[in-house]
């Protein structure tokens, strides 16, 4: 089988697609055997590493494939390797657990030390963010790193760390400042590469998770672990930026892994429907099953395109300095949820067979629950999308200015506020009339401060004086933000009565006989 190729892929990337599918097709049996035994297939992991897949994101001068492969090449590898169970998680973790961070934030000495080893597949990586009392609130990390001469002394615990014990280098985020100013500016965290075997650095516990059969995931303990200061990436206080960049890359790889899982659900749904006969016909003839598979195919095609679009944008430098935050966040949410739906629908199509370990779909269903929580829970990521999406794209979602059409008596949108005629005196009556006009067009909504200022052609001090006076008289009601500044305002019922006669606010469509109403 061959991965579907996109027209913007270069020759190297197309060759990687052929290469990975061939590798996976030849080794999926071994991966399945290891999954049944809940073993970690070291032999397969070694093949993936030594076959050059970590080199996809590493510059050529450090033994990597450079721009010819890039993040797109890494995603191509991930899409295939995702079919191989435990090693997919370990491979991805190596890529965003030290390799990516060194490429983008390491100095020359650090790159020369680590990147050739990653490129040759000699080392594995891990990322250490989560702690016993710190999950989604990553800025609240409690593990400390205290400078002592040419070293940092680390103390604390990390948990839910994938590749715990397997990795050779750990991308650890620790607190290096208690200064409130640093904390407010997210300059209190530092990213440090900690090597396996560092005195005081131990594996404390290995978890038994709902999914990820065979994956090593556990707790780490740092007990006065001394790490060379030369292992700090980008300098003290830069940990937050490094973390965000790594999470964006992690979500991108997780997204393409989810796309691969959806493909497996389609594969096994079709496999079952073609061979399962009920009521005298193959179950593929049942429209309910057809609709489920149609949804799977639609999600697979659209979300795969999204994942590779993100990778392409990273490769050409079309994203923000820290990576594709909004895009990777959206992809992580919707691909994991589509993956869950695909697994549930596939199991429903397969019936009882889908519930058994004889088929891989129940494992996909267990795995997706981890993906919906890891790298930021989908709930937290939705909140981030809301907050940052509206901020970053404020100009794309600019509020319209709506004017009443004189003939139609219906609101007509404009993209700029239409100010009152120049020279109009701005007093309480003027403001009240403008609020009445706004109520007629946008009933139930408050007038925003910025649009009101633009409409009146006045200054903020004068506007505040008038609005407070109207509020004291019961003619307007103001909403103040956390700073105590009037952000929104509206006319009260008494204000509407004072501004205009009742007939002004009436509206009856032309097809209505006005005489029918009181």
- 423, 420, 429: which is closest to 455 by C-alpha? 420
Please report the pLDDT score of residue 413 as a whole number: 97
Bridging pattern class, strands 277-278 and 169-175: unpaired
Question: d(Cα 258, Cα 347) in Å, to the nearest integer?
Answer: 17
One of 250, 264, 327, 362 is an active-site residue; which one?
A: 250
Average pLDDT for the chain = 96
Domains of the chain listed by start with CATH number:
1-123 (1.10.540.10), 125-237 (2.40.110.10), 242-397 (1.20.140.10), 401-516 (1.10.10.10)
Whether 230 and 310 have beta carbons less than 8 Å apart is answered as no
| Residue 376 structure tokens | 């930021």
Backbone angles phi, psi at 287, to 5 degrees: -60, -30
Distances (CA, A) of 146 to 132, 154, 160, 219, 332: 20, 7, 24, 21, 35
**Cα radius of gyration rounded to whole Å, the chain:** 29
DSSP class of residue 82 equals: G
* DSSP letter, residue 10: -
pLDDT for the residue 223 = 99
**Given this model, what pLDDT does residue 510 score?**
87
Backbone φ and ψ for 115, nearest 5 degrees, come out as -65, -40
Whole-number pLDDT of residue 320: 64
CB of 46 closer than 8 Å to CB of 84:
no
Neighbours of 53 (CB within 10 A): 28
Q: How far apart are CA 328 and CA 325, in angstroms?
A: 5
Q: Using alpha carbons, list the distances in angstroms from residue 336 to 79, 245, 364.
A: 14, 20, 11
Q: For 434-446, what is each residue's pLDDT tens digit?
A: 999 999 999 999 9
Yes or no: say if 456 and 419 are a contact pair by the CB < 8 Å rule.
yes
**HSE-up of residue 217 (Cα within 13 Å, Cβ side):** 20
- Which pLDDT belongs to residue 319? 67
Identify the pLDDT of residue 323: 72
Q: What tokens appear for 493 in the block? A: 């019922």
pLDDT value of residue 299: 98
Q: Which residue from 431, 425, 482 is spatially nearest to 452, judged by alpha carbons?
A: 431
At residue 91, the pLDDT reads 98
Whole-angstrom CA distances from 173 to 127, 236, 388, 440, 448 are 8, 11, 23, 55, 42
What pLDDT does 324 receive? 87
Query: Residue 52: which of 101, 99, 119, 138 has the closest Cα?
Result: 119
How do 169-175 and 125-128 pair as beta strands?
parallel
Distance of alpha carbon 219 from alpha carbon 165, whole angstroms: 10
Q: Look-up: residue for tokens 């030594």? A: 50
Specify whether 250 is catalytic: yes
Per-residue tens of pLDDT for the chain, all 518 residues: 567 899 999 999 999 999 999 999 999 999 999 999 989 999 999 999 999 999 999 999 999 999 999 999 999 999 999 999 999 999 999 999 999 999 999 999 999 999 999 999 999 999 999 999 999 999 999 999 999 999 999 999 999 999 999 999 999 999 999 999 999 999 999 999 999 999 999 999 999 999 999 999 999 999 999 999 999 999 999 999 999 999 999 999 999 999 999 999 999 999 999 999 999 999 999 999 999 999 999 999 999 999 999 999 999 987 666 678 999 999 999 999 999 999 999 999 999 999 999 999 999 999 999 999 999 999 999 999 999 999 999 999 999 999 999 999 999 999 999 999 999 999 999 999 999 999 999 999 999 999 999 999 999 999 999 999 999 999 999 999 999 999 999 999 999 999 999 999 999 998 999 889 99
Q: Please name the residues in contact with 459: beta carbons below 8 A apart, sequence gap of 6 or more.
A: 453
- Residue 321: the pLDDT is 64
- Run of H or E including 221: strand 217-228
* Cα 237 from Cα 230, distance rounded (Å): 14
* Closest of 451, 460, 453 to residue 417, by C-alpha: 451
Which positions ≥6 away from 282 have C-beta within 8 Å? 273, 274, 275, 276
């Amino acid at each position: 089988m061959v991965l579907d190729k996109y027209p913007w892929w270069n020759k190297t990337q197309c060759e990687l697609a052929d290469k990975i599918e061939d590798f996976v097709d030849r080794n999926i049996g071994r991966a399945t055997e290891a999954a049944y035994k809940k073993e970690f297939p070291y032999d397969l992991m070694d093949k993936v590493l030594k076959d050059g897949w970590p080199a996809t994101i590493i510059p050529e001068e450090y033994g990597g494939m450079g721009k010819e492969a890039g993040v797109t090449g890494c995603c191509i590898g991930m899409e295939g390797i995702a079919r191989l169970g435990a090693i997919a998680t370990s491979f991805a973790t190596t890529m965003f657990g030290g390799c990516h961070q060194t490429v983008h934030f390491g100095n020359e000495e650090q790159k020369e030390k680590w990147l050739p080893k990653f490129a040759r597949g000699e080392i594995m990586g891990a990322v250490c963010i989560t702690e016993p009392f710190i999950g989604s609130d990553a800025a609240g990390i409690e593990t400390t790193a205290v400078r002592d001469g040419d070293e940092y002394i680390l103390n604390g615990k990390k948990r839910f760390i994938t590749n715990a014990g397997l990795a050779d280098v750990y991308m650890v985020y620790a607190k290096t400042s208690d200064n409130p100013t640093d904390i407010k500016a997210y300059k209190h965290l530092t990213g440090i590469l900690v090597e396996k075997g560092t005195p005081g650095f131990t594996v404390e516990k290995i978890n038994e998770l709902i999914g990820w059969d065979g994956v090593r995931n556990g707790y780490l303990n740092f007990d006065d672990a001394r790490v060379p200061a030369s292992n700090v990436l980008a300098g003290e206080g830069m940990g937050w930026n490094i973390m965000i960049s790594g999470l964006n890359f992690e979500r991108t790889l997780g997204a393409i892994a989810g796309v691969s899982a959806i493909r497996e659900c389609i594969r096994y749904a079709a496999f079952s429907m073609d061979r399962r006969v009920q009521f005298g016909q193959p179950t593929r003839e049942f429209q309910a099953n057809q609709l489920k598979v149609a949804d799977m195919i639609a999600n697979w095609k659209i979300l795969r395109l999204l994942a590779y679009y993100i990778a392409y944008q990273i490769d050409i430098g079309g994203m923000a300095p820290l990576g594709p935050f909004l895009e990777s966040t959206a992809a992580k949410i919707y691909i994991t949820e589509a993956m869950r739906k695909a697994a549930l629908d596939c199991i429903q199509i397969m019936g009882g067979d889908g519930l058994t370990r004889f088929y891989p779909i129940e494992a996909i269903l267990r795995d997706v629950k981890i993906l919906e929580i890891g790298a930021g829970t989908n709930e937290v990521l939705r909140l981030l999308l809301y907050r940052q999406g509206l901020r970053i794209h404020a100009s794309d979602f600019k509020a319209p200015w709506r004017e009443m059409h004189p003939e139609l008596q219906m609101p007509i949108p404009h993209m700029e506020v239409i100010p009152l005629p120049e020279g109009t005196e701005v007093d309480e009556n003027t403001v009240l009339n403008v609020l009445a006009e706004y109520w007629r067009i946008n009933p139930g909504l408050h007038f925003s401060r910025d649009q009101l200022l633009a409409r009146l052609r006045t200054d903020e001090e004068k506007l505040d004086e008038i609005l407070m006076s109207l509020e004291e008289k019961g003619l307007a009601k103001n909403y103040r933000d956390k700073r105590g500044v009037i952000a929104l305002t509206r006319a009260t019922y008494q204000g509407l009565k004072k501004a205009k006669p009742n007939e002004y606010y009436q509206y009856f469509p032309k097809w209505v006989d006005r005489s029918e109403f009181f």
